[in-house]
């Protein structure tokens, strides 16, 4: 078996097949999957921006305060430019506060877990959230979980396990695992809540603005209203919280919300399998990390899972039609 030499070759093949799949789905569905892929890739940049700040001695609360604070300012300006209303209906306030706190706790527990385990294994455990989304949708909203969906989740999870390059014999921190699981659960509830509440009808930009704004309150309280906030150690490190505010926060949240509206919570969540691939590509292209056959196989399995969830329903429908007409 011959493996591609660079991850770019794999993504070129994936992109070509993705374009071919477009003819099997409505335009809105295609947009939903494209938005989900962008959201996942953006969210996967979290460690790239966070770890240098940790190395400089900053704690998770301070890092996330800057991330959310800068994101609020950016979103506020975007809403002014687009002349969007900031007004809220009474019924929207409580769900927005809840969504903001959920997303904030998801960020906080994930960033705290980096102190107890490698970012790579944290990303692997975080991928439990598509399973949790599927369970929540099945138990509370009676959504049927198809064989294609479950097989895609299993395929993606196997691929992500292959991406992790941990040291042999290293025992995982129980606290670290618990923190990532809480992050996964709160993110899963957020994804379902956006799709199954009055917030579904709210504009994506307004929803993102208020989710981040209310989410920031968690860090304001934890930092004793700024009394124990750590300053960013150097001018060049300011690029990191700005990057976190733009990519894993604004871009990721906006495109995830759009994806959920077009294709639903479970398929959008499964596209999150692209998150660890983002970190891998950065490691190979920027930091010169090795690309082994095992890792390439992991990428192929993840991309196969994503392709399957994209065209799975259409393929199953086509198979049924052919069987009926035989």
Residue 101 lies in a domain: yes
Domain count, the chain: 1
Domain extent at residue 182: 7-324
Mean predicted lDDT score pLDDT of the chain: 83
Is residue 18 one of the residues assigned to a domain? yes
Q: What are the phi and psi torsion angles at 46 (to 5°)? A: -50, -55
Nearest to 91 by CA among 11, 218, 187, 198: 198
Rounded CA-CA distance 64/54 in Å is: 11
At residue 204, the 3 state secondary structure works out as helix
pLDDT in tens, 270-290: 888 787 777 777 767 766 667
User: What is the predicted pLDDT for the residue at 106?
Assistant: 94
Average pLDDT over residues 239-243: 96
* Model confidence band, residue 154 (pLDDT cutoffs 50, 70, 90): confident
Task: State the first-to-last Cα distance of the chain, in angstroms, to the nearest integer.
Answer: 37
84 — phi, psi (to 5°)? -85, 145
Q: Does the pLDDT of residue 2 top 50, yes or no?
A: no
Q: Tokens 């379902």 sit at which residue?
A: 192
> Is 12 a domain residue?
yes
pLDDT (tens digit, 9 = 90+) per residue, 32-84? 888 998 998 898 888 889 889 998 999 999 999 999 999 999 999 999 999 99
Residue 19, pLDDT above cutoff 90: no
Residue 90's pLDDT band, with cuts at 50, 70 and 90, is very high
Residue 2 domain flag: no
Which parts of 169-292 fold into alpha helices (H)? 174-195, 204-222, 239-244, 252-263, 265-270, 274-285
What does the pLDDT read at residue 168?
Answer: 53
Output the pTM of the full model. 0.81
**Residue 288 backbone dihedrals phi, psi, to 5 degrees:** 70, 30
In a domain, residue 1? The reply is no
Is 270 within a domain? yes
């Amino acid at each position: 078996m011959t493996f591609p030499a660079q991850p770019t070759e794999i993504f070129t093949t994936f992109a070509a097949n993705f374009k071919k799949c477009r003819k099997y789905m409505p335009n809105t569905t295609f947009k939903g999957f494209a938005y989900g892929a962008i959201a996942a890739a953006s969210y996967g940049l979290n460690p790239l921006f966070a770890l240098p700040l940790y190395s400089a001695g900053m704690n998770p609360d301070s890092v996330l305060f800057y991330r959310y604070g800068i994101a609020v300012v950016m979103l506020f300006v975007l809403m002014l430019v687009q002349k969007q209303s900031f007004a809220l209906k009474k019924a929207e306030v409580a769900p927005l506060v809840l969504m903001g706190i959920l997303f904030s706790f998801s960020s906080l527990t994930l960033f705290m877990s980096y102190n107890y385990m490698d970012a790579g294994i944290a990303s692997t455990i975080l991928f439990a959230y598509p399973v949790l989304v599927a369970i929540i949708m099945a138990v509370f909203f009676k959504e049927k979980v198809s064989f294609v969906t479950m097989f895609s989740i299993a395929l993606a999870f196997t691929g992500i396990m292959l991406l992790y390059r941990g040291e042999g014999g290293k025992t995982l921190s129980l606290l670290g695992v618990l923190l990532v699981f809480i992050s996964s659960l709160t993110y899963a509830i957020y994804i379902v809540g956006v799709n199954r509440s009055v917030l579904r009808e709210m504009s994506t930009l307004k929803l993102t603005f208020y989710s981040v704004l209310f989410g920031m309150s968690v860090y304001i309280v934890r930092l004793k209203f700024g009394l124990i906030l750590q300053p960013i150690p150097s001018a060049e490190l300011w690029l990191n919280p700005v990057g976190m505010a733009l990519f894993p926060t604004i871009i990721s949240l906006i495109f995830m919300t759009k994806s959920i509206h077009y294709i639903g919570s479970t398929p959008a969540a499964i596209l999150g399998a692209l998150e660890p691939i983002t970190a891998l590509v950065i490691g190979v292209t920027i930091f010169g990390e090795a690309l082994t056959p095992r890792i390439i196989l992991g990428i192929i399995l993840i991309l196969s899972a994503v392709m399957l969830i994209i065209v799975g329903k259409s393929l199953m429908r086509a198979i049924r039609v052919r069987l009926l007409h035989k």
